[in-house]
Structure 1
């Protein structure tokens, strides 16, 4: 069976939502046809979800809505927060001693592309991950 498009959505609370978000994401990615052959992409998506949920909880101080969609080319990971100020993520200068502030840099390094969308209440960050399937030519994001 060919899967053209599929998606899932869930809200993750500030308390305990990041760990559950990683588990939930992996559970849903396992349903995709390339899951077994592209473990690096799975790991990149799960890490990005972790970073984006953490950012929503820590910086926006809100629950986070996570939407995963697969369009037969790219897994779109979108995290929406409800920050009253709608502030966009800021890339901080590199520091070997920093204990936080690397989330967006990590997402930037892992995703094929990403962008921020202002919403009426808060913002959404959407990242695209194109699975790297051995032996297949990779489409452009």
Structure 2
């Protein structure tokens, strides 16, 4: 996964309007993970990233009632997956009711990512999950 040593980071950004399906975000993310080679070298991490994107974009659309801006940044150590929405409300990890259909998204993101941060912004918030890929034979 090492690239040109002069390259410090590479990134991509996509706007996802409220009416846009989350599948668009997943497909777009998978394409960029393939350019990094993660589909071959870190398939489990790639799946975790795609599931996290799905959860965070869904949160922006459903809970924040907002368009989502999805940003992927690879710094050769960590893939930062950031979703920005216009709601100032910080997401909470909560213990879901066993009968509830939702409420597990941030628990799931926290379990999948190596690190999760939330940052309040003047016009909403950013939720960033970081992923450090491991070779397929290295334990998590």
Provide TM-score, normalisation by structure 1.
Answer: 0.89
Look up the match of 1:121: 123
Deviations 1:72-122 (A, max 9, x none): 011000000012xx0100122232211011111110000000110000111
CA 1:137/1:40 → structure 2, altered by over 3 Å: closer, same or farther?
closer
The alpha carbon displacement at 1:17 in A equals 3.2
Look up the match of 2:17: 13
What is the RMSD computed on CA atoms of the aligned residues? Answer: 1.8
Q: Is the 1:51–1:107 contact (alpha carbons within 8 Å) kept by the matching residues of 2? A: yes
Does the residue aligned with 1:52 lie in a helix, a strand or coil?
helix
The answer to whether 1:38 aligns with 2:42 is yes
Q: Is the 1:17–1:53 contact (alpha carbons within 8 Å) kept by the matching residues of 2? A: no
Q: Is the 1:34–1:133 contact (alpha carbons within 8 Å) kept by the matching residues of 2? A: no
The answer to whether 1:96 aligns with 2:82 is no
Deviations 1:28-80 (A, max 9, x none): 11000443021100000000000000000011100000000100011000000
Look up the match of 2:82: 78
Distance in 2 of aligned mates of 1:97 and 1:104:
17
Provide TM-score, normalisation by structure 2.
Answer: 0.90
Once superposed, which parts of structure 1, at least 4 consecutive aligned residues long, lie more than 2 Å away? 134-138
Does the residue aligned with 2:47 lie in a helix, a strand or coil?
helix
**Aligned residues, how many?**
136
Q: Is the 2:71–2:81 contact (alpha carbons within 8 Å) kept by the matching residues of 1? A: yes
